Structure 1
């Protein structure tokens, strides 16, 4: 019993230290950019020896992969939960809720947003399949879900595009076709265009480029979202 308790205590301490290492890495990135994420710098901040920190992450790339996986999974969880809560809502309401959840997450987790969608870590080599394949798949399918609910309204406009399934990555194409067999390739193109619209203002806000431009970035985001919904043929969208 005593040996088991000791192992449990050790496991809790290791988990706590691992979490602290990740948080320090994100803090260093916030202050100095992705170049600042080094195991030696983290060890120095935590009062650890470099050899000690290597017991948690053998390389900087191992730490980066863990960070990207954690951040991406957290975002995917937030977006999936939002989508599930809006099943009975109108297409416009569902898209607005998903978009607002994405923006709220990004503003709450600016370092995570920058890590996943912005600043690449110099020299980082991701594992085969990517650092967060499941979360990336879920986020991509979530975006396709936005296009799917909008498609009956946007189809007349988007149908003129000449997209083919061969225009997309085979892995992404297969995932989307399995999840949404009724959608044509132009709908996946629509999902990518929705992503571009949502990321635009959010990126400007996260990186501080709207400071000194407007004291009400939320109004700017809401206006752009309303315009997106109108573009998708969802003109009955009600502002929150």
Structure 2
């Protein structure tokens, strides 16, 4: 297949679109969700507001693009961490996924806040679109971890009583397509695992954990080891 070569104008447009997104994330880190505004981005970049609108027609379009990019980048990172561990050790894969979540969140707190924290005032996500697809991909990856350990949970009484109607229809459609043998309780397990991962990470990112813990990474790892012990697996060594 012949290589597609972009024209100079096309390259400049791609580079400018990337700079707009990078500027938006920098403003988010400095001033929180309220700081994301196309006019503010234009000022930072020395452009006219009209020029920025030529790349993103609305602020919500830009935010949706940012969310999709962040989700895609973080899921790439989580999947790489998971796949670096043998599929024969699903417990260790859960730990690897969780620790990758924390490492990313600590390195990129503004991005964590964008998709898991502070809502952007007035933002109305469009139905469907790349942001929704990227979020579903993240959920599906987590469900895959739960599916790998599900055989050890299938006879637990506390896992009974869940129905597909307990969950968002779009997520259910993805899960039932990718994991046809997983019951509703398997999806519940995935969300409960995510709650255990997210809780300590959010406390650390928002500055509520460091005053109480000199080593949040050690605390988080202990939590992940506790999760997989409850699932019937031995924590990884080291």
TM-score by length of 1: 0.90
Superposition RMSD in Å: 1.9
Q: 1:176 to 1:147 in 2, by over 3 A?
A: same
Distance 1:88 1:131 in 2: 29
Write out per-residue CA displacement over residues 178-197 of structure 1, whole angstroms, 9 at most, x where no aligned residue: 21111111111111100101
Alpha-carbon deviation of 1:100? 1.4
Do the aligned partners of 2:153 and 2:231 also contact (CA within 8 Å) in 1? yes
Alpha-carbon deviation of 1:33? 0.9
Query: Which position in structure 1 is the counterpart of 2:48?
Result: 49
Q: 1:23 to 1:194 in 2, by over 3 A?
A: same
Q: 1:167 to 1:78 in 2, by over 3 A?
A: same
Alpha-carbon deviation of 1:59? 1.2
Query: Which position in structure 2 is the counterpart of 1:120?
Result: 119
Do the aligned partners of 1:106 and 1:112 also contact (CA within 8 Å) in 2? yes
Distance 1:158 1:130 in 2: 38
Do the aligned partners of 1:226 and 1:239 also contact (CA within 8 Å) in 2? no
Query: Which position in structure 1 is the counterpart of 2:160?
Result: 161
Query: Secondary structure at the residue paired with 2:155?
Result: helix
TM-score by length of 2: 0.91
Do the aligned partners of 1:165 and 1:173 also contact (CA within 8 Å) in 2? yes
When structure 1 is superposed on structure 2, of 158-167 and 14-23 the one drifting more is 158-167
Distance 2:168 2:34 in 1: 30
Do the aligned partners of 2:78 and 2:97 also contact (CA within 8 Å) in 1? yes
When structure 1 is superposed on structure 2, of 88-97 and 66-75 the one drifting more is 88-97
Q: How does 1:20-169 map to 2 (within 5 A)?
A: 20-129=19-128, 131-157=130-156, 160-169=159-168
Do the aligned partners of 1:34 and 1:121 also contact (CA within 8 Å) in 2? yes
Question: Which ranges of structure 2 fall in alignment gaps of 5 or more residues?
Answer: none
Query: Which position in structure 2 is the counterpart of 1:182?
Result: 181
Query: Which position in structure 1 is the counterpart of 2:235?
Result: 237
When structure 1 is superposed on structure 2, of 140-149 and 83-92 the one drifting more is 83-92
When structure 1 is superposed on structure 2, of 83-92 and 98-107 the one drifting more is 83-92
Do the aligned partners of 1:158 and 1:187 also contact (CA within 8 Å) in 2? no
Do the aligned partners of 2:228 and 2:235 also contact (CA within 8 Å) in 1? yes
Distance 2:197 2:129 in 1: 23
Alpha-carbon deviation of 1:23? 1.1
Query: Secondary structure at the residue paired with 1:132?
Result: helix
Question: Which ranges of structure 1 fall in alignment gaps of 5 or more residues?
Answer: none
Alpha-carbon deviation of 1:83? 3.0
